[in-house]
Amino acid sequence: MHAATDIRIVKCLDGLHYSFEILDYAYADLYTTCVKIKEDPSAIVPALWRCWTIVDTIHRIREIAQATPGLSKKAPELVAFLKGTDLAKDYRHYIQHLRKELSKNPVDPFPVWGSLSWVDPTVPLGCLNVLSGAQVGKTHYTSCVYDKIKGDWVSKVCLGAVGMSFDFDLLYGFCVEFRKFIMPWIMNTYAPGIRVTTKPAIISAKFVTREECEKLGIPIPTVPSTPEAQPAGSGSTGLPPSPDSPSP
């Protein structure tokens, strides 16, 4: 089936649209949430939620993109996106199979939910690190990286796990660029025409009592009666005879 008339491309557009929206939502306040942790340790919960939501969502975008009908696996935009976000695959695999990871012996040297690091807004060229949960033996963690050549941080927030560092600003940037390509490409490819709606259909429902139905003149459906079960030992199973069984 040609992509121009393949209805599956519409489903992929839906999947990508909401994935990008979820990604934007989780990323928008990631840094400000991390900054709050120093004064409010409970902020680590929404911070980690945003981190792992971003990881999972980027992985989902990768999966949907590779399933989009008509999109060449050699398309430069797709190749660049997959290469730039490859780390999301490893992080998502780790958290998806946490049961297996926590069963290993010896245990992983990093915190279960990763070590979180962010740029300190009060100290020039400074960053902060938080290690969540129990620290068993020597704990490994990663910090934000400062690029001396560019004179800027690679990412204002990073998450250390599986011996690597997830730089959120960097990977989010790859997603932004890919979104500029893939969304128009799908809408231009599907011949019948397609657009993303920001006003989804909302269906309301209300349960009414029998008295309300009678008052409003709404017909009340009748429930068909079921045959009563015969007493045990009557010789009947309560089931219709099979085609090969003799009639009683």
Task: List phi, psi (to 5°) of 165.
Answer: -130, 125
pLDDT tens digits in sequence order for the chain, 248 residues long: 566 778 899 999 999 999 999 999 999 999 999 999 999 999 999 999 999 999 999 999 999 999 999 999 999 999 999 999 999 999 999 999 989 888 888 877 788 899 999 999 999 899 999 887 666 667 777 888 989 999 999 999 999 998 899 999 999 999 999 999 999 999 998 877 777 777 777 888 878 788 888 888 888 777 776 666 555 554 544 444 544 544 44
Counts for the chain of helices (H) and strands (E), in that order: 8, 6
Helical segments of 68-153, H only: 76-84, 86-96, 98-102
Residues in the chain: 248
215 in a structural domain: no
Residue for token digits 């040609």?
A: 2
Q: Which domain holds residue 182?
A: 3-189
Identify the pLDDT of residue 136.
67
213 in a structural domain: no
Identify the pLDDT of residue 247.
47
Answer for the pair 186, 195: CB distance below 8 angstroms, yes or no.
no
> Rounded to whole angstroms, how far apart are CA atoms 54 and 21?
11
Q: In what order do the strands lie in the sheet with 164-167?
A: 127-131, 115-119, 157-161, 164-167
- State the total domains in the chain: 1
> Rounded to whole angstroms, how far apart are CA atoms 193 and 87?
35
Identify the pLDDT of residue 202.
85
201 in a structural domain: no
> Residue 131's Cα: distance from chain center in Å?
24
> Rounded to whole angstroms, how far apart are CA atoms 93 and 166?
14
71 in a structural domain: yes
Question: DSSP labels for 179-221?
Answer: HHHHHHHHHHH-TT-----SS----------HHHHHHHTPPPP
182 in a structural domain: yes
141 in a structural domain: yes
Identify the pLDDT of residue 166.
96
Answer for the pair 140, 106: CB distance below 8 angstroms, yes or no.
no
Residue for token digits 């128009």?
A: 184
Instruction: Please report, in angstroms and rounded to a whole number, the separation of the first and last CA atoms in the chain.
Output: 55
Identify the pLDDT of residue 43.
96
Indicate the SS3 state at residue 159: strand
Beta bridge partners of 164: 161
Strands (E), 93-138: 115-119, 127-131
197 in a structural domain: no
Task: List phi, psi (to 5°) of 27.
Answer: -80, -30
221 in a structural domain: no
Indicate the SS3 state at residue 74: coil
Question: How many Å is the maximal CA-CA distance in the chain?
Answer: 92
Identify the pLDDT of residue 204.
87
Please tell me what DSSP assigns to residue 13: H
